[in-house]
């Protein structure tokens, strides 16, 4: 088997929400496999510039664009600009997302809409113009970043779980409609990862830290680098006949029930 199946040389990959966290880890993996990165964010140009500089320091060719994935006109204009300045988009990673930690009975309609607009509708808005170009050129790859909440409910994140559950089905619907055009659409479902956001609950002695470690067959939190291989596989020729699949990178949590180490 040729390792070229996992190379992305000459490919351009647009990763939304890739200025930090797990999006940055997946983007870095694509860049290390040879892809030219196009980094999206919506908070500030300064944050995008810092991320681009970080990628370049790692020897990865990268550029950044500021726009909101929920704004259809801004997305359309940005895709046109990207393809004029960088080149056709071969890989789209729909990673941009928000979460609202509020019980459903206390959640405002505005907060609900913000989560669903970003995490579900934003994927639809972002994919339309990109995939039209892919189809015209004969193919491409779309990777939607799902979640374990695509399969499981969890207290106080109802809007997020609803959006990510919908994203799983949107992934399958996209695969159904676009597979005939040689566009493969798959998802990645991260488990619990060691990031700056989870640092406070990963301290020794914290109940949630102990619960995650005991609940995960791998016996640890995921490292962001654990997502690189999944992203590269789904972006590369190795996955040309993989379509409509969600690859859960969770250390085995979804495979089991109870506390594996006590079995």
Q: pTM for the whole thing?
A: 0.96
pLDDT digits (tens, 9 = 90+) for 73-118: 999 999 999 999 999 999 999 999 999 999 999 999 999 999 999 9
Mean pLDDT computed over every residue of the chain = 96
pLDDT over 60 (residue 262): no
Q: Which of 65, 160, 192, 248 is catalytic?
A: 160
3 falls in which pLDDT band (50, 70, 90)? low
Residues 6+ positions from 224 with CB-CB distance below 8 Å: 21, 22, 24, 25, 193, 194, 195
For 130, list phi and psi in degrees, rounded to 5: -65, -45
As a whole number, mean pLDDT of residues 154-167 equals 96
Q: 10-21: string of b/e by CB count within 10 Å (b at 16+)?
A: ebbbbbbbbbbb
What percentage of the chain exceeds 90 in pLDDT? 91
| Distance of alpha carbon 250 from the chain centroid | 14
Residue 259 has what pLDDT? 73
143 to each of 16, 25, 37, 246, how far by Cα in Å?
11, 14, 14, 9
160 tagged catalytic: yes
Average pLDDT for 126-149: 98
What is the predicted pLDDT for the residue at 47?
A: 97
Which pLDDT value is given to residue 255? 95
Residue 70 makes CB contacts below 8 A (sequence gap 6+) with 117, 118, 121, 122, 125
| DSSP class per residue in 119-181 | IIIHHHHHHHHHHHHHHHHT-EEEEEE--GGGT---TT-HHHHHHHHHHHHHHHHHHHHHGGG
d(CA 6, CA 238): 6
Summarised one tens digit per residue, pLDDT across range 12-67 is: 999 999 999 999 999 999 999 999 999 999 999 999 999 999 999 999 999 999 99
Per the listing, tokens 């190379």 go with: 7
pLDDT confidence band for 263 (50 / 70 / 90): very low
Q: Distance between CA 120 and CA 166 in Å, rounded? A: 7
pLDDT at 190: 98
Mean pLDDT of 172-198: 96
Residue labelled with tokens 């994140």: 157
pLDDT mean over 163-187: 98
pLDDT classification of 1: cutoffs 50, 70, 90? low
């Amino acid at each position: 088997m040729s390792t070229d199946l996992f190379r992305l040389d000459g490919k351009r990959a647009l990763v939304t929400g890739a200025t930090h966290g797990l999006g940055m880890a997946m983007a870095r993996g694509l860049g290390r496999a040879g892809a030219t990165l196009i980094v999206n964010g919506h908070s500030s140009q300064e944050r995008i510039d810092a991320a681009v500089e970080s990628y370049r320091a790692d020897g990865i060719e990268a550029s950044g664009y500021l726009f909101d994935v929920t704004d259809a006109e801004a997305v359309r204009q940005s895709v046109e600009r990207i393809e004029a300045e960088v080149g056709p988009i071969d890989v789209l990673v729909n990673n941009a997302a928000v979460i609202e930690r509020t019980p459903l009975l206390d959640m405002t309609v505005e907060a609900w809409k913000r989560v669903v607009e970003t995490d579900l509708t934003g994927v639809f808005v972002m994919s339309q113009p990109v995939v039209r170009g892919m189809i015209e050129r004969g193919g491409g790859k779309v990777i939607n970043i799902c979640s374990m909440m695509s399969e499981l409910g969890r207290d106080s994140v109802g809007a997020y779980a609803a959006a990510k559950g919908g994203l799983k089905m949107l992934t399958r619907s996209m695969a159904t409609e676009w597979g005939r055009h040689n566009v493969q659409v798959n998802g990645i479902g991260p488990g619990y990862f060691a990031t700056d956001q989870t640092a406070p609950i990963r301290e020794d002695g914290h109940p949630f830290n102990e619960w995650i470690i005991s609940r995960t067959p791998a016996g640890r939190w995921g490292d962001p680098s654990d997502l690189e291989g999944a992203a590269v596989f789904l972006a590369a020729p190795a996955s040309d006949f993989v379509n409509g699949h969600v690859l859960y990178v969770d250390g085995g949590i979804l495979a089991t029930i109870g506390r594996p180490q006590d079995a």
